[in-house]
Amino acid sequence: MNAEVLIRENVRGMAAYEPPCRNGAEARALLDANENPFSSVYNRYPDAGQRELKMAVGRAKGVDPSLLTLGNGSDELIDLLMRAVCVPGRDNVVVFPPTYGMYEFYARLNDAEVRRGRVDGDFLPVWEELPGLVDERTKAVFLCTPGNPVGNVIPLEAIRRLAGWFPGLVVVDEAYIDFADVPSAAGLAEECGNVAVLQMLSKAWGAAGLRVGICVAAPALTGWLNRMRAPYNIGSATQRAAAERLRDGERFRREVAAIRRERERMKRVLRGMRGAEVVGDSQANFVLARVADHERVAGYLRRRGVMVRMRHEPPLLAGCLRLTVGTREENDLLYELLNECL
């Protein structure tokens, strides 16, 4: 598919902002960006091309840097994708609740209608109903795999089929993919011009505070996204720290393995706990549990210093708490308190 047709017409007509170009010349005086000339760590603007960081992301993920758009967290990329394809007040997007709330947040912010698809008992989209839900104004479908808040995985084959018939953008949010046993859809992004895969440094890479989101998409779409984003959306300190973090693959693998082990233990412990029920079979770094009187339980935990997320969304998620997998000690504390109050 030609990505050109996905992009809003007014965006296509825009000239890109050209930040000062300092490559290929020996600079003796930088008088082109109105910076303060007195040297300090941060007196210069960051690299607008984000070359070092893109190389580091590409190496860590086995993706060509030309397929990457980086954002201030993947939240910025969700907004960017929405603005790339949706004409405010006219177009619509599809989400499959229960899911990550920011798809709907940015749709509303950009005045795009939100259409909600249905999920089945395994929290997978009911694909057969989708053709009846979309029309020529449907510009994007947002999928989350592993999903938040259940942690279930959408098969790659289903995403490939969707990308084949749906003429809009298929956004595959893989925030939690590094914790899962399944391959990423990043390969699909190269294969299909209308797939954008989102990943990030906030979860498995342990760098939520840095705010780095990653979008993998075919070169044509990537070209437009990079033209649309603010040229300096990732600061120099973040670019440097994130590239360094990505070079420590050993630590990444060690931590992911520990979190995955603890996740499986959390499911086992909760399944054996009276008054708790594990919902789904999470492949992410959290477990969704249904408890009786969820508000009382969440309040009890909070008063004892353990914060969990209420995800009470009837009917599918009635009485649910989302429990992030912590360190072994943190998880033991959670089990002890749950045993006390259940």
Ligand X SMILES: Cc1ncc(COP(=O)(O)O)c(C=O)c1O
Closest residue to ligand X in the complex (CB): 73
Residue 125 CB, shortest distance to ligand X, in Å, is: 15
Closest CA to 202 of 211, 190, 214, 194: 211
- For helices 236-247 and 51-61, give the axis angle rounded to 10 degrees: 20
The residue among 92 and 202 lying less far from ligand X, judged by its C-beta, is: 202
Nearer to ligand X, 242 or 337 (CB): 242
- C-alpha 232/C-alpha 50 separation (Å) is 9
- Tokens for 330? 């943190």
175 in Cβ contact with 202 (< 8 Å): yes
Q: How far is the CB of 49 from ligand X (least distance, A)?
A: 21
Residue 275 Cβ, how far from ligand X at the closest point, in Å?
A: 27
**Min. distance of Cβ 32 from ligand X in angstroms?**
32
Compute the distance between CA of residue 201 and CA of residue 216 in angstroms, rounded to an integer. 14
Burial class (CB in 10 A: 0-12, 13-18, 19+), 306: middle
Angle between helices 328-341 and 294-303 (to 10 degrees): 130
Write the DSSP assignment of 9-71 as a string of letters.
HHHHTSPPP-PPP-TTS--S---SS----S--TTSSPP-TT-HHHHHHHHHHHT--GGGEEEE
The site for ligand X (CB under 6 A) is made up of: 73-75, 100, 144, 148, 173, 175, 200, 202, 208, 213
Closest to ligand X by CB, 86 or 207: 207
> Quick one: 60 or 200, whose CB is closer to ligand X?
200
Which residue in this structure is represented by tokens 């492949």? 283
User: Minimum CB separation from ligand X for residue 50, in Å?
Assistant: 15
Q: Is the Cβ of residue 75 or residue 91 nearer to ligand X in the bound state? A: 75
The answer to whether residues 96 and 106 touch, using CB atoms and an 8 Å cutoff, is no
Q: How far is the CB of 71 from ligand X (least distance, A)?
A: 8
Q: How far is the CB of 210 from ligand X (least distance, A)?
A: 9
- For ligand X, the closer of residues 125 and 269 by Cβ is 125
CA-based nearest residue to 6, from 218, 159, 173: 218
Cβ at position 107, least distance to ligand X in Å: 14
Q: How many CA atoms lie within 13 A of 138 on its CB side?
A: 20
Return the half-sphere exposure (C-beta side, CA atoms, 13 A cut-off) of residue 18: 5
Calculated CA dihedral for residues 193, 132, 198, 75, nearest 10 degrees: 130
Nearer to ligand X, 70 or 112 (CB): 70
Token pair belonging to 304 = 């004892």
Looking at beta carbons only, is 74 or 283 nearer to ligand X? 74
Place of tokens 């342990």: 206
